[in-house]
Amino acid sequence: MLSQQQKLSYQENGFLILENFKSIADCQQLKQTANTIVENFIPENYSIFSATDRQARSDDYWITSGDKIRCFFEEEAFDDNHNLIVDKNFAVNKLGHAMHELDPIFRGFSADERLHTIATDIGMVQPHVLQSMYIFKQPRIGGEVRCHQDSTFLYTDPMSVIGFWFAIEDASIENGCLWGIPGGHKGPLTELAKRQPSGNAITIKKLADPEWDTKAMIPLEVKAGTLIMFSGKFPHMSEANRSNKTRHAYTLHVVDGNCHYPHFNWLQRQDNTVGPTFTQLNSLL
């Protein structure tokens, strides 16, 4: 699937851009499905935005979402009295974290054997699709995502996670595209998130000072249908979306089933696996 040059580029930069990877029709179908999930969701049943216990409830709702389809709202979508102040369809930050398994349209989009081949091309032995997220990056209220490495949150020993980031809509500087530091993955993992043995609290431990040259951060502006893949140590971020346009994206995080997946990771599926292989996803179609 990947040429020698693409493999070298990935190793050197920590990311690779594959244009026209998905058709516009496939992107539109996924977008429609995501919007329908939001339309059918009843935010009144969802009280995490109570100011006093937001954190605790949020953690519980979040931490058990690894094998479910759940909606996570933008903070700025609510006023101080916990009332939704924007249309529900423009209030959701993301869906997570098992659409690839539980929703037939998402499953069809995700069960793409080319992704298995790409993952093995860059050295993964046994690719498993650990999680999926549909990110809305809403107009005007879509929040910033600070610079981070995905291995901080989805750690394996040795580190193996790959992010597959699909632009479902055109992503530009204006509407909050991804930014990243080419070569930044060569430095150490700087933080590690750990779920505490009791309760749902997650602590983030500093492991090393970032060696990232933030001046080297570049915008990854891409058209709908483009796949950006990146290593678990690739430092990346996105600015808030202050434009009037959405910036929908779909991500899959794939880990190597041959690596150890520790209990301290926030995402623990009830079946105690690291998610289906691409072949298993295909057999569900």
Residue numbers at the binding site for Fe ion (CB under 5 A):
150
Q: Compute the C-alpha angle 107/274/4, nearest 5°.
A: 75
Pairwise CA distance, residues 125 & 219, whole Å: 31
Rounded to a whole number of angstroms, the minimum distance from the CB of residue 132 to Fe ion is: 13
Strands 15-18 and 249-256 come out as: unpaired
Alpha carbon 209 to its chain centroid, in Å, reads 24
The amino acid at 81: N
Whether the bond into 185 is cis, omega within 30 of 0: no
Cβ proximity to Fe ion: between 77 and 162 the closer is 162
Rounded to a whole number of angstroms, the minimum distance from the CB of residue 98 to Fe ion is: 18
Residue with the CB atom nearest Fe ion in the bound state: 150
Rounded to a whole number of angstroms, the minimum distance from the CB of residue 148 to Fe ion is: 6
Cβ proximity to Fe ion: between 78 and 179 the closer is 179
Cβ proximity of 63 and 195 under 8 Å: yes
Cβ proximity of 71 and 37 under 8 Å: yes
DSSP-derived letter for residue 243 is S
Cβ proximity to Fe ion: between 103 and 150 the closer is 150
Q: Compute the C-alpha angle 147/251/21, nearest 5°.
A: 115
Rounded to a whole number of angstroms, the minimum distance from the CB of residue 84 to Fe ion is: 27
Rounded to a whole number of angstroms, the minimum distance from the CB of residue 276 to Fe ion is: 21
Cβ proximity to Fe ion: between 49 and 238 the closer is 238
Cβ proximity to Fe ion: between 97 and 108 the closer is 97
